[in-house]
Structure 1
Amino acid sequence: MLPRIIFCIAVIIAILTVVLLALLSPIAHQKTSKNSRPWLALSLYIQQPNTAITNMQPVAASDADAFIFHRTLTQGPENTSRVIGKAQGFIIPVERFALSTFNVIYLTFNTSEYSGSLSVHVKHVTHKDREELTVVGGTGSFAFARGFAAFEPSDVNATYHVKLQLRFPNRSQSIPR
């Protein structure tokens, strides 16, 4: 009979402990709002090739053209800026850009701050000279990234300015900057 009473008391103490920890824990009272996670903003440039022969390769697709491209990502708009990675993709020309589900751009980073890649897909064309795309995932430093990418022509050397707004779900630590 005594072991049964001791067992019941131990169960009651265990239940009370769990309930008290749930009520008094500071973690339980923190807001876990989706909007409380910080955004990471990056600004970079896609450079045009320096050579007379472009590495933009047109690919015929019935009556429409598509372009497969390989470009350099730099920190600044000048072609002498620090190289931070590369941009590769497959796009449909501007007049059909918003209607295509095949517009895919991969941004690959290789720096001491960031190592990994981002996959960017078309969202919608906001106006003639700017495309807004959706970041749908990544690898390495950008694992599980979500967000937006705005592509617009730069005033320097026919480059494209890319502005990224990234969010990382369920990440307990921030990316090193």
Structure 2
Amino acid sequence: MMRPKIIFCIAVSAAILAVILLALVSPVAHKKAQKNQTKPWVALSLYIQPPKTGNSDQSLTSTNSRGAFIFHHTLTEGPENTSRVVGKAQGFIIPVEHFAHSAFNIIYLTFNMPEYSGSLSIQANHVEHKGREELTVVGGTGAFAFAKGLAVFAESDTQPSNIDAMYHVKLQLKLPHQLRPIPG
């Protein structure tokens, strides 16, 4: 009489152990866990080229030391001015103390590449005009929709001394994991 109960308990224990082991080593469980992980950070390294003289497509305007900086530069893959153009860097910055937190102080990077098409908005409220600036990415469009992250602007040491400063831009971006369509 005891023998059937023992066999039944062993069978139930074996079945429970099998279910637990399958749940732990199942490839389906691992795929779901990987699918739920957030996307990694996207890192880009680009160069803002100084304006070329006589080219009306690029300009830098500074009214005076207390005025606004308005710029429209080319964004390239590498430091050479012959590097592939990947977009544009545009902005309007008022460095005056009273306007330090102005909504105008935004740098826009516009990209036109097959892998990345869209733009980034970078907040430039605390620009101190030193050799290296760490600024905040506050949004974007297209492939960069709702992006957040960090933009490091550093004067490049690869340009000749007789031209305006070229900037090396390093972007570390966090893009939303999954965008949902807006109903309507």
Pairwise same-fold verdict (TM > 0.5): yes
Give the alignment's TM-score, normalised by structure 2.
Answer: 0.65
Q: 2:61 aligns with which of 57, 60, 63?
A: 57
Counterparts in 2 of 1:64 and 1:123: CA distance versus 1, 3 Å: closer
Partner residue, 1:163: 170
Which amino acid in the other structure matches residue 133 of structure 2?
E
Give the alignment's TM-score, normalised by structure 1.
Answer: 0.68
**Does the aligned pair in 1 maintain the 2:148–2:174 contact within 8 Å?**
yes
**Does the aligned pair in 2 maintain the 1:123–1:134 contact within 8 Å?**
no
Partner residue, 1:122: 124
Partner residue, 1:20: none
1:99 corresponds to 2:100: yes
**Does the aligned pair in 1 maintain the 2:59–2:71 contact within 8 Å?**
yes
Which amino acid in the other structure matches residue 175 of structure 2?
F
**Does the aligned pair in 1 maintain the 2:105–2:125 contact within 8 Å?**
no
Q: Per-residue displacement from partner, 1:40-64 (whole Å, max 9, x unpaired)?
A: 000000000121677112347xx82
Rounded to whole Å, the distance in 2 between the matches of 1:126 and 1:67 is: 13
Counterparts in 2 of 1:125 and 1:89: CA distance versus 1, 3 Å: closer
Rounded to whole Å, the distance in 2 between the matches of 1:144 and 1:70 is: 23
**Deviation (angstroms), 1:171:** 2.7
Specify every segment of 5 or more residues in structure 1 that has no aligned partner in the other structure, as ranges: 1-23, 173-177
Q: 2:45 aligns with which of 20, 43, 46?
A: 43
**Local SS of the residue matching 1:65:** coil
Rounded to whole Å, the distance in 2 between the matches of 1:116 and 1:47 is: 19
Partner residue, 1:88: 90
Q: Per-residue displacement from partner, 1:112-149 (whole Å, max 9, x unpaired)?
A: 11111001102645893111111111111111111010
Specify every segment of 5 or more residues in structure 2 that has no aligned partner in the other structure, as ranges: 1-22, 160-164, 180-184
Rounded to whole Å, the distance in 2 between the matches of 1:118 and 1:88 is: 11
Q: 1:142 aligns with which of 141, 144, 154?
A: 144
RMSD: 3.2
Rounded to whole Å, the distance in 2 between the matches of 1:64 and 1:128 is: 16
Query: % of aligned pairs identical?
Result: 59
Rounded to whole Å, the distance in 1 between the matches of 2:178 and 2:73 is: 30
Rounded to whole Å, the distance in 2 between the matches of 1:65 and 1:127 is: 14
Which amino acid in the other structure matches residue 167 of structure 1?
K
Report which of the two structures shows the higher radius of gyration computed on alpha carbons.
2
Between structures 1 and 2, the one with greater strand share: 1
Which amino acid in the other structure matches residue 171 of structure 2?
L
